[in-house]
Amino acid sequence: VSPPPPSSGSGGGASPTHNAKNSAEVGDYALSLASLTMSKALVGRFPLALGGDHSIALGTLAGLIRARRDVGVIWVDAHADLNTPWISESGNMHGMPLGILTEGMVPEGRGLGE
């Protein structure tokens, strides 16, 4: 799957309530990658995705979860990548894949450590 070309617009830039740079492009690519990953996993293949930054995890993990609800993930990184568009200071999507995929798993108003 090839990433989409950069848009000529604002690129899904920041707004007062949503700070995710290039979110439309990353989202489109994640949907394509999720579909491809799911199709390979459903026929017993081991999908291996190599990419430029961690934002590709949105697609690969979403595809694996669709194919195998009991999948486990080992995340090895210097950062947790748990930001969301609503709490990210930088708006960089590579810091958000786990935050976006796990959003809603923690009751509102509670932190992960509570």
CA-based nearest residue to 104, from 114, 95, 112: 112
98 — phi, psi (to 5°)? -70, -35
Q: What is the pLDDT of residues 12-42, one digit of tens each?
A: 444 545 789 999 999 999 999 999 999 999 9
Q: What is the pLDDT of residues 52-107, one digit of tens each?
A: 788 999 999 999 999 998 888 888 888 888 888 888 899 999 999 998 888 766 66
* Reported pTM: 0.74
Count of CA atoms in the C-beta half-sphere (13 A) of 94: 7
57-67 and 23-42 helices, crossing angle to 10°: 40
* E-strand stretches of 7-113: none
Which residue shows structure tokens 């690129």? 11
